[in-house]
């Protein structure tokens, strides 16, 4: 629901978010009250000691105060459980109860101070058990007060005053009026400053220069524009995501029509082509993961990695000119050697230098495939995250091929940096002097996959035989014309429901629309949604057991915006207007240009495995897929783990081994399927 308004400002918490905190505190308070009552009943005859009357009064007042707090908490719990996310009417009395509960903190604070003074008074000579119990109540009081203060800080919305002014001053959201425009301009300006401060705080540990400041402002504008037109609190988003996951599972469990299956048919139906690309991808994936250095090697070999690297750390590293950036104890380079299986002499250049828009990479000779491999590292630092989030678009022109193709700004700047290093510093010339007959292959995972793709576009004219393998690249990368051009020489590999290849601003806008729509249509209280969602994610179940839409509303009605949806929007953004007119995020004009994945896409999906925490042997199958298949963000417990480099490498190795065994046992000439 919209954020709750108290003390004349909006807070980042809804009136239905007090169920779990109130229930937890109620349990603590009731247990505390019972304990104090038992203590008082047992020891009230032993309080005739010096200072005993004071302690007697303290315990009686504490019991009465706890009764008042328990009653207030019970009322808050009961009221917060009423209504639904989009129907806060039954909870309209909650702010008054919260004012009462906050008022009770004053006598509790006072009594905690008094109790601390009495307990520390050495003139009081009473039973040690009573003294320890009172000391425990004082400590418990202070702990609860401190946690309450922390909770208030967490749910404090720096823009609460501005948003409240905007909502009350412009109830009809009439953005045509000059007064409304001015108010909303001030809200936007303040929101950008707030986001910029948050980003600076998160990146306080890194040295900041002009590039960082420009990136901070750009990212702050991005976050502000995305979050400014909704009035959702974090728990609303969590409830929406769990409902979307269940709704998505319902759709997946339904049998597909033949036409739907045909839409997902591969671009290149020949199985031998797919098998060859999977074998190549599995081979080059080890170069992509090697760029992560010792963190990846230790993660995949937790018990033996340090022992294996110990000997390499003491060896002499290659010539100093071959390595740029720090590599303490030779850990990164030692890990690269272990993962790739190459020798020292096979590396032409290694860069561990890492700044915003400047990411590590290495150039090596792959004698097995007769290739010069440029491997680019993915996200592994705050600087890399800033590069990822610099998601504005900029133009990329290719002479005699393409004009004004749109690309991801941050990733393009990273590709430009590596391009200058490879060409201007003569790194590729050095490599081709050693191995002139070798081909050029560019690889990378995640951010490295996106950078490798744009770098390949830049190098393609100079190296016509160039090939690029992008593993789990970001989704909002290339405009349609540029993405079509890259199908000649780039292969993207995506596993399962990986969220990163589906991340783009239009897809994020679509996700926001779907969250608003599903929480506005849900007829259950939020606490039930979250409890059922946690159970469903951990233990599974039937998603059909939990209705997610208002009873009696037909599908036609659900295509129209609800009043409840309107209440969750601070203002109707152009992208939201476009999205409610067309359910498909692929066909609506948005304020963000639509960018796509690079090259041809191999989509790898698990076969016959559970999506829960424990699973046995996993089998995979792969097929060529269209970029339109990644036009929605899918909610899944594996949406993050499917992006991990070790998961991608495991899937590719499994498919490559399966392909080899199938070819060896298959009748010659029988390549009738593209599924491995």
- What is the structure's pLDDT at 666? 54
- Cα–Cα distance measured from residue 375 to residue 674, given in angstroms and rounded to the nearest whole number: 28
User: What mean pLDDT comes out for the span 503-514?
Assistant: 88
pLDDT digits (tens, 9 = 90+) for 240-264: 888 888 888 887 776 655 443 434 4
Are residue 612 and residue 516 in the same domain, yes or no? no
Whether the CA torsion 210, 505, 467, 375 is positive or negative: it is positive
- For residues 400 and 315, the answer to whether their CB atoms sit within 8 Å is no
Of 217-226, 260-269, 409-418, the range with the lowest mean pLDDT is: 260-269
- For residues 359 and 351, the answer to whether their CB atoms sit within 8 Å is no
Are residue 277 and residue 342 in the same domain, yes or no? yes
Residue at which a domain ends, from 105, 126, 157: 157
- What is the structure's pLDDT at 333? 87
pLDDT digits (tens, 9 = 90+) for 49-102: 666 677 778 788 888 999 999 999 999 999 999 988 888 889 999 999 999 999
Mean pLDDT, rounded, of the chain: 79
- What is the structure's pLDDT at 207? 66
Task: Give the domain extent around 190.
Answer: 162-227
- For residues 505 and 527, the answer to whether their CB atoms sit within 8 Å is no
CA nearest neighbour of 376 among 386, 367, 384, 368:
384
Residue 613 is encoded by which pair of tokens?
């925490």
446 is catalytic: yes
The single-letter DSSP state of residue 291 is T
Are residue 371 and residue 446 in the same domain, yes or no? yes
- Cα–Cα distance measured from residue 327 to residue 305, given in angstroms and rounded to the nearest whole number: 17
- What is the structure's pLDDT at 403? 65
- For residues 451 and 411, the answer to whether their CB atoms sit within 8 Å is yes
Are residue 204 and residue 68 in the same domain, yes or no? no
Q: Which of 16, 498, 510, 642 is catalytic?
A: 498
- For residues 627 and 470, the answer to whether their CB atoms sit within 8 Å is no
118, 317, 334 from 520: Cα distances, Å:
53, 61, 54
- Cα–Cα distance measured from residue 277 to residue 269, given in angstroms and rounded to the nearest whole number: 13
- Cα–Cα distance measured from residue 532 to residue 545, given in angstroms and rounded to the nearest whole number: 10
Q: What percentage of residues in the chain have a pLDDT greater than 70?
A: 75
pLDDT band at 266 (very low <50, low <70, confident <90, very high): very low
Whether the CA torsion 461, 463, 467, 469 is positive or negative: it is negative
Of 201-205, 273-277, 526-530, the range with the lowest mean pLDDT is: 201-205
Of 604 and 545, the structure prediction assigns the larger pLDDT to 604
Are residue 141 and residue 89 in the same domain, yes or no? yes
Are residue 247 and residue 280 in the same domain, yes or no? no
- What is the structure's pLDDT at 544? 61
CA nearest neighbour of 357 among 507, 210, 197:
210
Whether 587 is covered by a domain: the verdict is no
Q: Is the pLDDT of residue 515 over 60?
A: yes
Are residue 516 and residue 488 in the same domain, yes or no? no
User: What mean pLDDT comes out for the span 521-540?
Assistant: 87
CA nearest neighbour of 441 among 361, 353, 501, 358:
361
Partner residues linked to 607 by β-bridges: 619
CA nearest neighbour of 34 among 76, 70, 75:
70
Question: Which run of H or E residues covers position 407?
Answer: strand 402-408
pLDDT band at 272 (very low <50, low <70, confident <90, very high): low
Q: Which of 390, 446, 573, 636 is catalytic?
A: 446
Of 394 and 400, the structure prediction assigns the larger pLDDT to 394
Are residue 152 and residue 282 in the same domain, yes or no? no
Are residue 129 and residue 181 in the same domain, yes or no? no
Are residue 218 and residue 241 in the same domain, yes or no? no
Residue at which a domain ends, from 119, 140, 157: 157
Q: How many residues does the chain have?
A: 676
């Amino acid at each position: 629901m919209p954020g709750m308004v108290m003390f004349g400002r909006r807070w980042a918490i809804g009136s239905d978010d007090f169920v779990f905190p109130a229930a937890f505190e109620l349990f603590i308070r009731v247990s505390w009250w019972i304990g104090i009552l038992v203590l008082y009943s047992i020891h009230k005859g032993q309080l005739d000691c010096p200072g005993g009357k004071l302690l007697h009064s303290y315990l009686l007042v504490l019991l009465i105060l706890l009764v008042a707090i328990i009653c207030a908490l019970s009322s808050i719990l009961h009221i917060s459980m009423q209504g639904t996310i989009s129907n806060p009417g039954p909870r309209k009395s909650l702010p008054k109860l919260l004012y009462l509960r906050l008022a009770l903190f004053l006598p509790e604070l006072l009594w905690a101070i008094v109790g601390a003074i009495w307990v520390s008074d050495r003139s009081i000579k009473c039973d040690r058990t009573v003294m320890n119990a009172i000391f425990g109540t004082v400590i418990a009081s202070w702990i609860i007060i401190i946690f309450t203060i922390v909770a208030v800080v967490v749910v404090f919305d720096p823009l609460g005053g501005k948003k409240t002014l905007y909502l009350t001053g412009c109830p009809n959201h009439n953005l045509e009026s000059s007064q409304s425009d001015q108010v909303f301009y001030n809200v936007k300006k303040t929101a950008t400053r707030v986001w910029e401060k948050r980003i600076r705080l998160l990146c306080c540990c890194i040295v900041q220069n002009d590039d960082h400041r420009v990136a901070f402002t750009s990212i702050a504008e991005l976050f502000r524009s995305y979050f400014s037109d909704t009035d959702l609190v974090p728990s609303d988003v969590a409830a929406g995501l769990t409902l979307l996951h269940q709704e998505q599972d319902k759709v997946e469990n339904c049998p597909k029509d033949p036409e739907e299956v045909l839409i997902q048919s591969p671009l290149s139906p020949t199985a031998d082509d797919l098998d060859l690309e999977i074998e190549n991808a599995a081979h080059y994936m080890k170069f992509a993961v090697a760029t992560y250095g010792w963190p990846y090697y230790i993660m995949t070999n937790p018990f033996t990695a340090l022992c294996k690297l110990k000997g390499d750390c003491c060896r002499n590293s290659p010539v100093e000119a071959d390595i740029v950036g720090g590599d303490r104890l030779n850990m990164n380079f030692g890990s690269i050697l272990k993962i790739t299986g190459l020798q020292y002499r096979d590396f032409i250049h290694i860069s561990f230098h890492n700044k915003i828009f400047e990411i590590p990479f290495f150039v090596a000779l792959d004698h097995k495939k007769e290739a010069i491999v440029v491997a680019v590292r993915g996200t592994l630092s705050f600087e890399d995250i800033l590069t990822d989030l610099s998601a504005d678009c900029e133009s990329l022109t290719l002479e005699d091929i393409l004009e004004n193709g749109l690309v991801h700004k941050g990733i393009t700047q990273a590709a430009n940096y590596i391009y200058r290093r490879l060409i201007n510093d003569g790194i590729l010339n050095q490599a081709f002097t050693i191995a002139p007959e070798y081909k050029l292959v560019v690889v990378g995972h995640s951010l490295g996959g996106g950078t490798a793709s744009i770098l390949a576009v830049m190098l393609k004219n100079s190296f016509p035989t160039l090939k690029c393998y992008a593993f789990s690249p970001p989704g909002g990368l290339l405009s349609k014309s540029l993405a079509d051009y890259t199908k000649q020489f780039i292969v993207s590999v995506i596993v399962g429901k990986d969220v990163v290849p589906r991340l783009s601003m239009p897809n994020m806008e679509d996700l926001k629309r779907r969250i608003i729509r599903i929480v506005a249509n849900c007829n259950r209280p939020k606490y039930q949604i979250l409890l059922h969602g946690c159970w469903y994610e951990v233990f599974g179940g039937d998603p059909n057991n939990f209705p997610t839409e208002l009873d009696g509303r037909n599908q036609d009605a659900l295509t129209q915006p609800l009043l409840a949806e309107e209440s969750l929007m601070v203002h109707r953004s152009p992208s939201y207007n476009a999205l409610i007119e067309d359910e498909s995020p692929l066909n609506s004009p948005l304020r963000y240009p639509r960018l796509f994945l690079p090259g041809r896409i191999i989509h790898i999906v698990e076969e016959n495995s559970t999506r829960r925490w424990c699973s046995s042997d996993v089998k995979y199958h792969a097929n060529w897929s269209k970029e339109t298949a990644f036009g929605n963000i899918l909610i899944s417990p594996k949406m993050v783990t499917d992006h991990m480099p070790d998961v991608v490498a495991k899937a590719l190795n499994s498919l490559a081994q399966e392909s080899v065994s199938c070819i060896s046992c298959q009748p010659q000439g029988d390549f009738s399927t593209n599924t491995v």
